[in-house]
Structure 1
């Protein structure tokens, strides 16, 4: 049973490596997933060896588990932060891995799966300590990852015109929570074994990682890049960040001295004539590309000139488009929801809510009202 679970987990991890290496468009988030799969493959593969790794390599395989939390966290970070770049300071996240590896190299380290009887195997005490620190680490990275997702969701109206599974990352909240729960389960089952209650064996962690790997591959392959303007594969420096901030500061000065009317009229005329909002995937970057204005400038003009965020501005135009089509005899054979989808909405719930906010009427009430005219 032990070898079967490890074999399944090992093969799954190899399959995940292949999938994420070939996934397009390339993005830093897929690199983190690929490395995560490599670590899982190494860990699961160690169970298939006919010997204990610590007999030939003193740190053993267990320390690499301290990298799983940081990698999952940086996967979340790279998805939810636009233009995410690697920085040298991020190397601090591998310190726990290094500390555990060094410590295990200086003692008579024993395999994590060895007997937990402290009389027969006194060095197993350190394994308990490692495990406790690992759970603490996983909890910290779970919290940080969740914090980034919540922060990202607050920014969705500033960039996207619709809420979707792609940009809300509901699945990732589930995966993060599952990640935490599986490690906690492994932690407690390890202590059950310490009490010599043979309810579970050490393969609990191997089994849980196998389950988690399957879930991560499934959802990770379905998740496309959220912010895909640039491919940031290089380490960023302070000078680059400072230069970007200087450019934004200069732009603020220019905008402060100019009237917003010219830019505001440009945006409104563009939306009326081009009707880009009919695309449910429409976002602020698409507007930037079409108008050839900076993101920062557009955001300022929309927020100050329209007194709305991007989400409300675009959906206001969509509501007006729906109203026009409901009055158009050519759309009489369409359902209200069908018209909404033609106008760029992507769900019934969001359409009904936004339509009511814009008109103080439900779509059905509006249609009845125009039917009486």
Structure 2
């Protein structure tokens, strides 16, 4: 049974590696997740090897488990930080792997095929210490990763016109919560087994957890693409933004504001639910920091609110147009660039003070 579960997880990991290696366009996040799946494949693959063969590998799989926390943290960074690059300082994250691996090799305490459960190898105090350090490492890195995601979410209204599964990273938070839940269950079972001096099952919970985790990582990771495409303000842009008032005089600011509004009215790019600040930058061929300044200063609002005001106006126009009288409210909302019924109802009420259905009824009076 253990080998069957490990085989399923191993195949999933290899399948994911092949997909991410061939995925285009290339992005750093794909490289990190590919390496992550490779580490998982090693961890699960050892259960498929003959025990005698595994015994020669004294380093052990257990130290490799310390890589999951750092890999998640680096993966999240590659998604939410446009300017993120891997460098030599990131190798510091691997120190626990090598230190513990060397100690275990010299001490010959646990083979690669051994389980890291607290209920096993009770005579070796190092095993309990390592297991506690593993839990601390995973929880710490994953809390830091959630903080990165939450910080990123605060910047979404300045760069995007809709909240989507791609830019909110809800799936990644779900993945973290599920995995932490599985760890808690594993600890609870290990504690009860040790307390009762028995073993409920021969199954290795760490391999079950990795198999479930691998499935979710591949399933959701395939759908995730790069969030930012040269959108976030770089250091040079930040300096320019501080001096935008000097770079743009009052006349230039008014002219650019008119150009933006005219562009939105004539082209209606906001009907694209994925419309972003970068798309506006590319269409107008105007530096990002200038457009951001005009929207924030002249319109007194962020990009999200600015664009959705145009969408609400478009909805109101279509509701008053006889050509759209057979359309449902949701159908009109989707035509105007909203990506869900929930966000449409909320934004429409914020802008008009009434719900879309109430507004539609008022037109029929």
Same fold, TM exceeding 0.5?
yes
In the alignment, is the contact (CA less than 8 A) between 2:193 and 2:199 conserved in 1?
yes
Gaps of 5+ in 1: 231-240
**1:39-188 to 2 correspondences below 5 Å:** 39-51=39-51, 55-111=55-111, 114=114, 124-188=124-188
Segment of structure 1 superposing worse, 273-282 or 11-20: 11-20
Residue 283, structure 1, aligned to residue 276, structure 2: yes
What residue in structure 2 maps to residue 238 of structure 1? none
Q: Secondary structure of 1:18's match?
A: helix
* Structure 2 match to 1:227: 228
Residue 246 of structure 2 is matched in structure 1 by 256
Computed over aligned residues only, the root mean square deviation of the Cα atoms, in angstroms, reads 2.5
Render the CA deviation track for 1:210-260: whole Å, top value 9, x for unaligned: 111111111111223222349xxxxxxxxxx9xx53454245324335222
How many angstroms does 1:359 deviate by? Answer: 1.4
**1:302 match:** 295
2:331 aligned with 1:338: yes
Q: Distance in 1 between matches of 2:304 and 2:164?
A: 13
- 185-194 vs 4-13, which moves further: 185-194
Distance 1:288 1:225, change over 3 A: same
Contact 1:355 1:362 in 2 (8 A): yes
Would you say the 8 A contact 1:193–1:201 is kept in 2? no
Paired residue total? 359
246 and 160 in structure 1: CA distance in 2 versus 1, 3 angstrom threshold: closer
Shift of 1:202: 5.7
CA distance in 1, matches of 2:53, 2:65: 15
Report the alpha carbon displacement of residue 277 of structure 1 after superposing the two structures with TM: 0.2
Q: Distance in 1 between matches of 2:358 and 2:271?
A: 23
Aligned CA distance change for structure 1 residues 227 and 130 (closer, same or farther; 3 Å): same
Q: Quick one: structure 1 residues 53 and 130, their matched pair in 2 at CA, closer, same or farther if it must change by over 3 Å?
A: farther
Do the aligned residues in 2 keep the contact of 1:255 with 1:297 (CA within 8 Å)? no
Asked if the contact 1:278/1:344 (under 8 Å) is kept, the reply is: yes
Cα 1:115–1:215 change in 2 (3 A) is closer
TM superposition score normalised by structure 1: 0.88
Of 25-34 and 310-319, the range deviating more from structure 2: 25-34
**3-state DSSP of counterpart to 1:47:** helix
